[in-house]
């Protein structure tokens, strides 16, 4: 629904023009249910909202091609950039046919523009009956319709991995009925028939909710009282009943929490738990199990907002911005325009408590489909439909299969083809940016199911987070955190593995045809906590390789004649410079930020070493150049080394220092 003022934006044929001229008009239109005005006026006493307002339209093709409508103040905002709140995204589809009576409706809107521009007419689109709580039965009916459509029309099981319909986890919760409480069942002792739901939720700090313990299993086999379950579990059970799915898997109720052996067993089976579920229910908005899935909300924000108009639909070859004219190109027909805010896009949920949890990363990737409960709506993801929600749940873009989103949405499933090296690197990048409550035990385990699925891409063993087939290049990760990073104080992985770090990590795996190895793997040794699970916890590990090695003392501080070889940098931080004048950059595995001085770090660590791993001609943009890559090492008293950082220099960096006092010498070393 739109007020007459906002409707006029789509029919004036100009790229910019006046909007509401005072706060009272904007507030009145918002109160009447105008989607755009409601969104603009959603922050009370907003100091940046200083009418008169104006609109500006542009064309965006950065992700999905769509129009962008910005509502601006004539004076610059004092605080937050206005695009963060007052931007609207318009998805257009051509060759649409307006419904009967729409022309007469537009005549009334045109008259309103002159007499009452704040008026909102609800004839087109008609108002939907939207419940004021996500726990309403009608909300579950929509979810059930999405599920049935997916099972009938999609092939999500094939996209996300072949399911075994007959497989069940070791334990499940039989949800019972409103008159029969849930109970614990097992695949060994009970004849399990039918599908199950897998729950994703936040435990929260110091969890104190009902859990399965060794002395409780017999009791749970008889009954799990609903009134003893935390709100999130109760809401999940209620949702399963409404979806007619008999079983649910909840980690804290299906894994014996005081049994390490049971935890190890399930960590190995985790990939099967989510891969073979009928549906994953994700309670995104709750930071702990007591907050629940169901939320009260204002249904007005979810009312449909679309219109039929000769709004111009640019072709793929059009530039990102309109020509320098205030007129649209004429359209031969009528277009259907769907209006979205950022709250209607998937990125609105990125800051939700659940989305920041590392365990959820693999749960989302492995499940064939996910039903999410966020702060004001439910939404749906599957291998076929990227992201849809209660807002415009059956819109034109959703009928086409993909759903509309103004921003990039990561793939829902683990791909089976394409640039697999880059994709695996992306998986590591995204996983390490998330949080773990127990990183010492869970860092590798929470990624194990993803690594298991990726194992078919690579040859050789999986070594503490890095596939042997990607070495030595797989050793070239670097910390990627604004405030720097830190290695875990409690040992959980070797220093050469990204799993040893308590921060976000970026991993580069370059195409094989565009790189040359300078170091050669000799041996990798990994001792596992569970010998049957190479993707799980690690007791100890080391690797041996042969490659070019030089001390920082010799490379940077030795008494050599300086000859400037590299042109000075014009962008970014000042790099380190070797005694021969060759630039390099370094990223230590510690709290080292862009504001820190590389020279001071080198002075403090002049007893460390540079090991060259390889050279790559692969570049991502015209601003980049081919490079030499390596890692920074610290020599221990026993002659072995630990990794302390990553470095890179210009292509030919090793050769440029040959036959000098600062040359790289080929050595065989062991890194712990």
Compute CA distances 64 → 59, 89, 90, 159, whole Å: 11, 10, 10, 22
Q: Is the peptide bond before 440 cis (omega within 30 degrees of 0)?
A: no
Q: Which pair of tokens denotes residue 534?
A: 């190479």
16 phi, psi to nearest 5 deg: -155, 155
3-class DSSP state for residue 452?
A: helix
Q: Enter the DSSP assignment of 28.
A: H
In this structure, the number of other CB atoms found within 10 A of the CB of residue 185 comes to 20
Q: Which pair of tokens denotes residue 594?
A: 């862009």
Q: In terms of Cα–Cα distance, which of 78, 81, 75, 84 is closest to 47?
A: 78
3-class DSSP state for residue 226?
A: helix
- From first CA to last CA, the distance across the chain in angstroms is 62
Burial of 617 (0-12, 13-18, 19+ CB in 10 A): middle
Strand partners, 70: 56, 87
Largest CA distance in the chain: 87
Residue 519: alpha-carbon gap to chain centroid: 34
Write out the E strands in 36-148.
53-60, 66-73, 87-96
Q: Which pair of tokens denotes residue 352?
A: 């939700």
Compute CA distances 537 → 170, 273, 434, whole Å: 21, 19, 18
Q: Which pair of tokens denotes residue 206?
A: 């110091």
How far is the C-alpha of 364 from the C-alpha of 21, rounded, in Å?
45
Q: Is residue 431 within a helix (H) or strand (E), and if so which, with residue range?
A: helix 420-432
Residue with tokens 């949920």: 349
Q: Is the dihedral of CA 606, 611, 616, 621 positive or negative?
A: negative
Residues of the chain with pLDDT under 70: 44-45, 61-65, 75-85, 95, 157-158, 312-332, 386, 395-403, 405-419, 482-484, 560-575, 593-595
Q: Is the peptide bond before 125 cis (omega within 30 degrees of 0)?
A: yes
Which pLDDT does position 482 carry in this prediction? 66
Q: In terms of Cα–Cα distance, which of 115, 102, 87, 88 is closest to 4?
A: 115
225 phi, psi to nearest 5 deg: -60, 130
Work out whether strand 196-200 and strand 247-249 pair parallel, antiparallel, or are unpaired: parallel
Q: Is residue 366 within a helix (H) or strand (E), and if so which, with residue range?
A: helix 358-366
Q: In terms of Cα–Cα distance, which of 402, 407, 282, 386 is closest to 341?
A: 407
How far is the C-alpha of 396 from the C-alpha of 63, rounded, in Å?
18
Which pLDDT does position 62 carry in this prediction? 64
271 phi, psi to nearest 5 deg: -60, -35
Instruction: Specify the pTM.
Output: 0.87
* Secondary structure (H, E, C), 538-586: EEEEEEEEEEEEEEHHHHHHCCCCCCCCCCCCCCCCCCEECCCCCEEEE
In this structure, the number of other CB atoms found within 10 A of the CB of residue 126 comes to 10
Q: In terms of Cα–Cα distance, which of 497, 340, 371, 362 is closest to 436?
A: 362
In this structure, the number of other CB atoms found within 10 A of the CB of residue 395 comes to 20
Compute CA distances 94 → 7, 312, 314, 324, whole Å: 18, 9, 10, 24
How far is the C-alpha of 194 from the C-alpha of 172, rounded, in Å?
12
Residue with tokens 């690197």: 425
Residue 626: alpha-carbon gap to chain centroid: 29
| Cβ atoms of 354 and 202 closer than 8 Å | yes
Q: Which pair of tokens denotes residue 5?
A: 């003022």
Q: In terms of Cα–Cα distance, which of 483, 506, 365, 501 is closest to 428?
A: 506
Edge to edge, the sheet with strand 196-200 lists 183-186, 171-174, 247-249, 196-200, 279-283, 369-373, 378-382, 388-389
Residue with tokens 């440029």: 656
Which pLDDT does position 412 carry in this prediction? 57
Domain-wise residue ranges, the chain: 4-130+302-345, 139-296+347-399, 420-671
In degrees, rounded to 5, the angle at the alpha carbon of residue 31 between the alpha carbons of residues 25 and 35 is 90
Edge to edge, the sheet with strand 87-96 lists 16-18, 53-60, 66-73, 87-96, 334-340, 306-309
* Secondary structure (H, E, C), 233-286: HHHHHHHHHHHCCCEEECHHHHCCCCCHHHHHHHHHHHHHHHHCCCEEEEECCC
Q: Which pair of tokens denotes residue 306?
A: 């679309």
Strand partners, 577: 583
Which pLDDT does position 325 carry in this prediction? 46
Length of the chain: 672
How far is the C-alpha of 450 from the C-alpha of 457, rounded, in Å?
12
């Amino acid at each position: 629904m739109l007020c007459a003022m906002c409707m006029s934006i789509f029919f004036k044929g100009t790229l910019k023009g006046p909007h509401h001229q005072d706060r009272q008009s904007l507030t009145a239109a918002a109160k009447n249910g105008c989607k755009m005005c409601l969104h603009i006026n959603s922050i009370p006493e907003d100091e940046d909202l200083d009418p008169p307002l104006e609109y500006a339209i542009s064309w965006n093709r950065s992700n999905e091609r769509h129009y962008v409508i910005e509502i601006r103040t004539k004076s610059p905002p004092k605080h937050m950039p206005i695009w963060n709140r007052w931007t609207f995204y318009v998805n257009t589809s051509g060759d649409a046919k307006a419904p009967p009576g729409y022309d007469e409706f537009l005549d009334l809107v045109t008259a309103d523009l002159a007499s009452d521009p704040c008026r909102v007419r609800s004839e087109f689109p008609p108002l939907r009956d939207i419940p004021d709580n996500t726990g309403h039965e009608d909300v579950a009916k929509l979810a059930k319709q999405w599920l049935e459509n997916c099972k009938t029309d999609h092939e999500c099981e094939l996209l996300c991995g072949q399911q075994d319909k007959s497989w069940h986890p070791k334990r499940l919760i039989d949800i019972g009925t409103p008159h029969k409480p849930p109970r614990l069942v097992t695949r060994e002792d009970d004849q399990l028939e039918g599908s199950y739901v897998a729950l994703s939720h936040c435990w929260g700090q110091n969890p104190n909710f009902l859990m399965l313990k060794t002395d409780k299993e017999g009791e749970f086999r008889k009954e799990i009282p609903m009134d003893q379950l935390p709100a999130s579990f109760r809401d999940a059970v209620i949702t399963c009943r409404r979806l007619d799915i008999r079983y649910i898997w909840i980690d804290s109720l299906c894994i014996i929490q005081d049994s390490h052996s049971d935890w190890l067993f399930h960590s190995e089976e985790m990939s099967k738990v989510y891969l073979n579920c009928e549906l994953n229910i994700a309670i995104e908005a709750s930071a702990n199990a007591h907050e629940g899935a169901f939320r009260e909300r204002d249904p007005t924000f979810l009312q449909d907002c679309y219109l039929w108009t000769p709004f111009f639909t640019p072709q793929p070859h059009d530039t990102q911005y309109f020509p320098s004219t205030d007129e649209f190109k004429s359209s031969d027909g009528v277009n259907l325009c769907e209006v979205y805010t950022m709250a209607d896009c998937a990125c609105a949920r990125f800051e939700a408590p659940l989305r920041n949890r590392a365990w959820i990363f693999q749960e989302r990737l492995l499940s064939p489909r996910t039903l999410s409960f966020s702060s004001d709506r439910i939404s749906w993801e599957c291998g076929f439909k990227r992201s849809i929600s209660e807002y415009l749940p059956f819109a034109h873009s959703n009928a086409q299969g993909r759903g509309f989103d103004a921003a990039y949405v990561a793939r829902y499933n683990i791909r089976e083809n394409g640039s697999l090296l880059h994709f695996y690197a992306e998986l590591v990048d995204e996983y390490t940016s998330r949080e773990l409550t127990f990183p010492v035990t869970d860092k590798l385990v929470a990624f194990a199911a993803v690594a298991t699925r990726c194992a078919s891409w690579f040859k050789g063993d999986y070594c503490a987070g890095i596939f042997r087939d990607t070495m030595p290049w797989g050793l070239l990760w670097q910390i990627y955190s604004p405030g720097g990073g830190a290695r875990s104080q409690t040992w959980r992985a070797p220093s050469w593995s990204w799993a040893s770090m308590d921060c976000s990590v970026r991993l580069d795996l370059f195409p094989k045809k565009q790189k040359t190895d300078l170091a050669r793997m000799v041996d990798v040794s990994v001792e596992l906590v569970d010998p049957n699970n190479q993707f799980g916890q690690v007791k100890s590990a080391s690797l041996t390789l042969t490659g070019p090695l030089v001390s920082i003392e010799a490379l940077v501080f030795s008494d050599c004649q300086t000859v400037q070889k590299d042109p000075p940098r014009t962008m970014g931080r000042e790099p380190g410079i070797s005694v021969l004048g060759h630039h390099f950059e370094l990223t230590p595995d510690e709290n080292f930020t862009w504001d820190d001085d590389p020279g001071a770090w080198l002075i403090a660590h002049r007893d460390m070493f540079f090991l060259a791993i390889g050279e790559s001609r692969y570049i991502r943009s015209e601003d980049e150049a081919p490079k030499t890559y390596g890692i920074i090492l610290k020599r221990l008293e026993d002659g072995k080394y630990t990794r302390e950082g990553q470095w890179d220099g210009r292509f030919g960096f090793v050769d440029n220092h040959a036959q000098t006092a600062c040359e790289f010498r080929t050595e065989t070393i062991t890194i712990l």
